[in-house]
Amino acid sequence: MESIWLNSYPPGIPAEVDVFEFTSLRNMLQRSCQRFGDLPAYSNMGVSITYAQLDRLSRDFAGYLQKSLGLRQGERVALMMPNLLQYPVALFGVLRAGLVVVNINPQYTAAELEHQLKDSGAVAIVVLENFAHTLQQVLDKNPTLTPTVITTEVGDMFAPVKKLLTNVVVKHIKHMVPPWTIGGSTPFNAALRAGRQQNLEEVPLCQTDLAFLQYTGGTTGVAKGAALTHGNLVANVQQMTAWMARDLVEGKEVFVCPLPLYHVYALTSNLVFMKLGARTVLVTNPRDMRAYIQDLKRYPFTIIIGVNTLYRALLDTPGFAGVDTSALKVTSAGGMAVQSVVAERWKKRTGVNIIEGYGMTETSPIVIANPLDTEAWTGTIGIPIPSTQAVILDEAGKQLATGEVGEICVRGPQVMPGYWNCPDETSKVFTAEGWLRTGDMGFVDDRGYFRITDRKKDMIIVSGFKVFPNQIEDVVALHPGVAEVVAIGVQDDRSGEVVKIVVVKSDPALNEQLLLAHCRQHLTSYKMPRIIEFRSEPLPKTNLGKFLRRELRDAAAGASVP
Residue among 248, 273, 245 at smallest CA distance from 28: 273
Domain that holds residue 435: 385-455
* 354 and 423 share one domain: no
Q: Is residue 45 part of a domain?
A: yes
Task: Specify the pLDDT at position 468.
Answer: 80
**Residue 379 included in any domain:** no
The reply to whether omega before 384 is within 30° of 0 (cis) is: no
Cα–Cα separations (whole angstroms), residue 248 to 151, 173, 329 = 37, 42, 8
Are 222 and 83 members of one domain? Answer: yes
User: Quick check: is 257 in a domain?
Assistant: yes
Decide the pairing of beta strands 210-216 and 224-229: antiparallel
pLDDT, one tens digit per residue, over 260-299 is 999 999 999 999 999 999 999 999 999 899 999 999 999 9
Using CA atoms, how far apart are residues 42 and 50, in angstroms rounded to an integer? 7
Residue 279 lies in a domain: yes
Question: Could you tell me if 430 and 486 lie in one domain?
Answer: no
- Please tell me the predicted confidence (pLDDT) of residue 560: 42
The residues, ordered by sequence, that sit 6+ positions from 468 with a Cβ below 8 Å of its Cβ are 217, 220, 221, 458, 459, 460
CA proximity to 259, closest of 105, 438, 54? 105
Residues 206 and 279 in one domain: yes
Taking phi over 0 as left and psi of -120 to 50 as alpha, with beta for the rest, 496 belongs to: left
Domain end point (choices 425, 455, 485):
455
Is there a single domain that holds both residue 154 and residue 123?
yes
Q: Which of 472, 468, 463 shows the shortest CA–CA distance to 502?
A: 472
Q: Do residues 374 and 332 touch, judged by C-beta distance below 8 A?
A: no
The CATH number covering residue 493 comes to 3.30.300.30
Residues 357 and 409 in one domain: no
As averages over each run of 10 residues, the pLDDT of the chain (562 residues) reads 92 96 98 98 98 98 98 98 98 98 95 96 98 98 97 98 97 97 97 97 97 78 89 98 94 97 96 98 95 96 93 93 97 85 93 95 97 87 97 94 95 98 95 95 95 79 85 89 92 91 95 96 94 94 67 71 41
Q: CB burial class (10 A; 0-12, 13-18, 19+) of residue 171?
A: middle
pLDDT tens digits for 186-242?
999 999 999 999 999 999 999 999 999 999 864 445 789 999 999 999 999 999 999
In a domain, 405, yes or no: yes
> How far is CA 4 from each of CA 246, 289, 381, 445, 512, rounded to the nearest angstrom?
22, 43, 16, 9, 52
Residue 527's CB is within 10 A of a number of other CB atoms, namely 22
Of 399, 425, 455, the residue at which a domain comes to its end is 455
- Tell me the C-alpha distance between 150 and 350, whole Å: 42
Question: Could you tell me the CATH number of the domain that includes residue 171?
Answer: 3.40.50.12780
Asked if residue 475 and residue 354 are part of one domain, the reply reads no
Contact 309, 332 (CB under 8 A): no
The pLDDT of residue 479 is 94
DSSP letter at 428? H
- Are 362 and 392 in the same domain? no
CA distance 138 to 536: 38
pLDDT above 90 covers what percent of the chain?
82
The confidence score (pLDDT) of residue 552 equals 87
Residue ranges of E strands in 468-546: 482-492, 496-505, 529-535
Beta strands in 113-223 (DSSP E): 124-128, 148-152, 186-187, 210-216
Domain membership of residue 238 (yes or no) is yes
Do 102 and 178 fall within a single domain? Answer: yes
**436 phi/psi in degrees, rounded to 5:** -85, 125
Rounded CA separation 368/358 (Å): 5
Domain count, the chain: 3
DSSP string covering 20-59: TS-SSHHHHHHHHHHHSTTSEEEEETTEEEEHHHHHHHHH
Nearest of 369, 355, 361, 364 to residue 308 by alpha carbon: 355
Q: Are residues 407 and 326 in the same domain?
A: no
Establish if 532 belongs to a structural domain.
yes
Provide the pLDDT for residue 545: 54
CA-closest candidate to residue 271, choices 212, 333, 186, 198: 212
CATH classification of the domain holding 432: 2.30.38.10
Q: 471 and 449 in one domain?
A: no
The gap from C-alpha 21 to its chain's centroid, in whole angstroms, comes to 25
Instruction: Give dist(CA 559, CA 392) in Å, integer.
Output: 33
Report the Cα–Cα distance between both ends of the chain, in Å, rounded: 45
Q: What is the pLDDT, as a whole number, of residue 340?
A: 84
Question: Is 61 a member of any domain?
Answer: yes
Query: Do residues 262 and 322 share a domain?
Result: yes
The last residue of one of the domains, among 438, 455, 472, is 455
